[in-house]
Amino acid sequence: MEYDNSRNLFNHLKGAFKVKLRMIGKEYDYIKMVDIWNYLKINKWKYDNNLGLSEMVNDIINVDIKKVDLFLKEHLKEEEREVI
């Protein structure tokens, strides 16, 4: 199956992201689906060739959440924040 854009692929993988979020529990409750997606897209998937849906699901389920956490925190450092 081919996807015409990243958003459609992301939406098709939501089930795997939901499973992963349940697996990590409350310790990392600030990590969202999109954080896992961005981590894998930047750090793993861009280097893979002919990546299939089953491999992507496997990557989502088996991703080291501590690495996702560090990735997210590094990106937060770069964001502009304002007083609310």
pLDDT for 74? 93
What is the pTM for the complete model shown?
Answer: 0.89
What tokens appear for 13 in the block?
């993988």
- Structure confidence at residue 64 as a pLDDT band (50, 70, 90): very high
pLDDT for 10? 95
> At residue 1, does pLDDT exceed 60?
no
Question: What pLDDT, in 10s, does the model give residues 4-63?
Answer: 788 999 999 999 999 999 999 899 999 999 999 999 999 999 999 888 999 999 999 999
* Residue whose tokens read 């998937």: 45
d(CA 4, CA 71): 27
What tokens appear for 70 in the block?
């560090």
